[in-house]
């Protein structure tokens, strides 16, 4: 399986795109989150993926930097099947928005699928279990996916790990964990005040949870071209597993 990071930024980025990514295998694509708008079309174009090639999308929560890009997918995939998975609140919002914004097109090709905490589905041929990450801001789900060969990929959405998620996260082959900024810059960004982590926090969690690989996302962009190096240097002090700090459009073989 291949991971394509379409976006790696937090909500307010302007040079990069908001966090969203594709899992790709055998010309099948599973999209997690969609970023804040029309930029999803540019990122897909840069990846060489047509919106019509995507039939499965998961939205973690209702914040605009994760949700609004899906309206552009709906617009660009008329006549092509689009299954959108999310918890009940997001599905409710989407069902209203799609009908109100696209009154003439109907929803024949859109399948809105409300998933429950702990529910397992099959997406692009792989079992995926959705779970509540226990956000204090807006209800949010992540997931654990079986990616073949006994490997697992766990996505924690855009908030810090909660101990309530231990059974889903412990021992994951790949963990995707947000990291808003360096610990060294936490005085500047105050990530904990807005329910986000530093690189140090994410790496300490990865070590404690005995994951085999850690991927960071939902990051600030002001460190620019130095971000990968600076985050890797800080992270290495707190966990020994391989650490990936992707830039937008970077691909990773899982």
Q: How far is the CB of 126 from Zn ion (least distance, A)?
A: 25
Nearer to Zn ion, 11 or 112 (CB): 11
CB of residue 79 to Zn ion, shortest distance in Å: 31
Residue whose CB is less far from Zn ion, 11 or 93: 11
Closer residue to Zn ion (CB): 65 or 204: 65
Q: Which is nearer to Zn ion, 68 or 145 (CB)?
A: 68
Measured from the CB of residue 155, what is the shortest distance to Zn ion in angstroms?
13
Which is nearer to Zn ion, 138 or 230 (by Cβ)? 138
CB of 218 to Zn ion, least distance (A): 6
Rounded to whole angstroms, the Cα distance separating 203 from 226 reads 19
Q: How far apart are CA 195 and CA 190, in angstroms?
A: 9
CB of 230 to Zn ion, least distance (A): 21
Whole-number minimum distance, CB 220 to Zn ion, in Å?
12
How far apart CA 46 and CA 164 sit, in angstroms, is: 38
Of 11 and 208, CB closest to Zn ion? 11
8 Å CB contact between 37 and 72? yes
Taken in order 118, 94, 248, 238, the sign of the CA dihedral is negative
* Binding residues vs Zn ion (CB under 5 A): 11, 65, 158
């Amino acid at each position: 399986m291949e991971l394509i990071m379409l976006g790696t930024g937090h909500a307010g980025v302007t040079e990069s795109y908001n966090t969203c990514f594709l899992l790709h295998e055998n010309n099948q694509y599973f999209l997690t989150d969609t970023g804040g708008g029309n930029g999803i079309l540019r990122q897909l174009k840069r990846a060489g993926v047509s919106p019509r090639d995507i039939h499965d999308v998961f939205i973690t929560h209702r914040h605009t930097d994760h949700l609004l890009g899906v309206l552009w997918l709906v617009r660009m995939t008329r006549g092509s099947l689009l299954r959108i998975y999310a918890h009940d609140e997001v599905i409710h919002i989407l069902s209203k928005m799609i009908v109100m914004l696209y009154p003439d097109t109907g929803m024949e090709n859109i399948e809105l699928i409300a998933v429950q905490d702990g529910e397992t589905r099959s997406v692009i041929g792989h079992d995926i279990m959705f779970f509540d990450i226990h956000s204090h801001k807006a209800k949010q789900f992540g997931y654990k996916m079986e990616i073949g060969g006994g490997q697992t990929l766990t996505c924690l959405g855009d908030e810090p790990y909660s101990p309530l998620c231990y059974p889903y996260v412990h021992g994951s082959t790949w963990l995707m964990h947000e990291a808003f900024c360096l610990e060294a810059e936490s005085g500047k960004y105050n990530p904990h005040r807005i329910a986000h982590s530093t690189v140090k926090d994410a790496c300490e969690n990865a070590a404690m949870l005995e994951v085999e690989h850690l991927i960071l996302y939902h990051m600030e962009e002001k460190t620019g071209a130095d971000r990968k190096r600076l985050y890797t240097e800080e992270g290495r002090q707190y966990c020994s597993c391989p650490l990936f700090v992707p830039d937008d459009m970077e691909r990773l073989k899982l």
